[in-house]
Amino acid sequence: QVQLVESGGGLVQAGDSLTLSCAASGRTFVAYDMGWFRQAPGKEREFVAVISGSGGLISYAVSAKGRFTISRDNAKNTVYLQMITLKPEGTAVYYCAARPHSGVPSRASSEYGYWGQGTQVTVSS
* pLDDT confidence of residue 26: 80
What is residue 109's predicted lDDT score, i.e. its pLDDT?
97
20 contacts 8 by C-beta, under 8 angstroms = yes
The DSSP symbol for 27 reads S
Q: Write down the pLDDT at residue 27.
A: 75
Strand partners, 96: 36
pLDDT given at position 75 = 95
Q: If DSSP codes are grouped into helix, strand and coil, which group holds residue 29?
A: helix
pLDDT in the model for residue 1: 83
**pLDDT tens string for the chain (125 positions)?**
899 999 999 999 999 999 999 999 987 999 999 999 999 999 999 999 999 999 999 999 999 999 999 999 999 999 999 999 999 999 999 999 999 998 889 999 999 999 999 999 999 99
Q: What confidence score (pLDDT) does residue 54 get?
A: 93
19, 2 in Cβ contact below 8 A?
no
Give the β-pairing of 10-13 and 119-124: parallel
> What does the pLDDT read at residue 110?
97
Q: Look at residue 122 in the predicted model and tell me its pLDDT.
A: 98
Q: What is the DSSP letter of 17?
A: -
